[in-house]
Structure 1
Amino acid sequence: MEKAIKRAIKMRFQTKIAHGDHTESYEFTTRGELYHKGNNDYLRFEESLSETDTVQTTMKWNGRELMLIRQGVILMRQAFVSGEKTVGRYVTPEASWETTATTDKVFVQWPSGKQKGSIQLSYQFALQGQDTGVHQVRLTLEEDTTK
């Protein structure tokens, strides 16, 4: 079995959610790691939700499907496939909800050499059948050479 070679990554995570005439945006920067295992590429990073709550986030890409896996105070599993509706799950300490994502676009380009990479997602999201709007997610990735 081949050992996965991990590369340190600096990333900027941006989200815009449009729901009716209301738009929410947030962004953060963090560090993570990128590695290849089997037929999949993985991006792992930690999200800080508050002073004490963090979530370990993994994005798994097989060339067609981008799987989002969040573990910590929030548990979430959601697949994104261009042109398809997928079912997932969102779990907090208080409740568990079914999620659906109707994905318009999935674009994944990993950083190589001096080039930056990016992940772009656009999808209609619903939590327990309730529409939460159109989500646009953009991650800008670049190899972290400061180690």
Structure 2
Amino acid sequence: MTAKADSTPVKVHLKTKITIGEESDSFELVSFGRYYEKGDAVFLKYDEVQEEGTTHTIVKVTDRQALILRSGAVKMRMAFNELEEQNGSYESQLGTLLLTTKTKTLSHTQSDSELEGNFNLSYELKMQDSPVGDYVMSIHYKEEA
């Protein structure tokens, strides 16, 4: 992986809670990645290593919206906007499936004194117009000294 000259190594702590009906499941991941800014957007790049293989993840956050791109073992594109539903895609063995996200909350806060921040997102996810569940995701990142 080639690092951009203006990117900073960060430790990424991702928590995801998925609720489907009455059932809830939580996942946590700690990874090391890169942080960089381009235009009015903040980017986090990190890898998720799972049994199926490694997934490269890019999270792009601006004031009003966010985008999560995954490639590798999982290929997925999800967009988030508090004002309207967004379409995305998920590539599976069955072909490309349509994802729709309805964003409930989206926030990004960052420390002024050091490179550390939180990105919080909650959304309803549909796949091919069928509800998949409610997701609450939080990413905490901090510069690696």
The alignment status of 1:56 with 2:92, answered yes or no, reads no
Looking at structure 1, the residues matched to 61 and 67 of structure 2 have their Cα atoms a distance apart, in angstroms, of 7
TM-score if structure 2 supplies the norm length? 0.89
SS in 2 for 1:124: strand
The aligned amino acid for 2:13 is R
C-alpha displacement of 1:115 = 6.5
> Which stretch of the first structure deviates more once superposed, 104-113 or 36-45?
104-113
Q: Size of the alignment, in residue pairs?
A: 142
Deviations 1:16-69 (A, max 9, x none): 01111100111110111100123322110001121x601110011232210111
Partner of 1:24: 25
- Which aligned segments of 4 or more residues in structure 1 are displaced greater than 6 angstroms? none
Looking at structure 2, the residues matched to 117 and 103 of structure 1 have their Cα atoms a distance apart, in angstroms, of 20
Give yes or no for contact 1:67–1:77 (8 Å, CA) kept in 2. yes
Partner of 1:91: 91
Identity across matched positions, percent = 26
Partner of 1:46: 47
Say what the alpha-carbon RMSD is for the aligned residues.
1.7
Give yes or no for contact 1:118–1:139 (8 Å, CA) kept in 2. yes
Give yes or no for contact 2:106–2:122 (8 Å, CA) kept in 1. yes
Name structure 2 gaps, 5 residues minimum. none
C-alpha displacement of 1:112 = 4.4
C-alpha displacement of 1:133 = 1.1
Looking at structure 2, the residues matched to 59 and 114 of structure 1 have their Cα atoms a distance apart, in angstroms, of 20
Deviations 1:53-94 (A, max 9, x none): 011100112322101110112111111011321000001244
Which structure: greater strand fraction? 2
C-alpha displacement of 1:117 = 0.8
Give yes or no for contact 1:55–1:71 (8 Å, CA) kept in 2. yes
Partner of 2:126: 126
Looking at structure 2, the residues matched to 90 and 112 of structure 1 have their Cα atoms a distance apart, in angstroms, of 36
The 3 A distance-change label for structure 1 pair 111 and 72 is farther
Looking at structure 2, the residues matched to 61 and 101 of structure 1 have their Cα atoms a distance apart, in angstroms, of 15
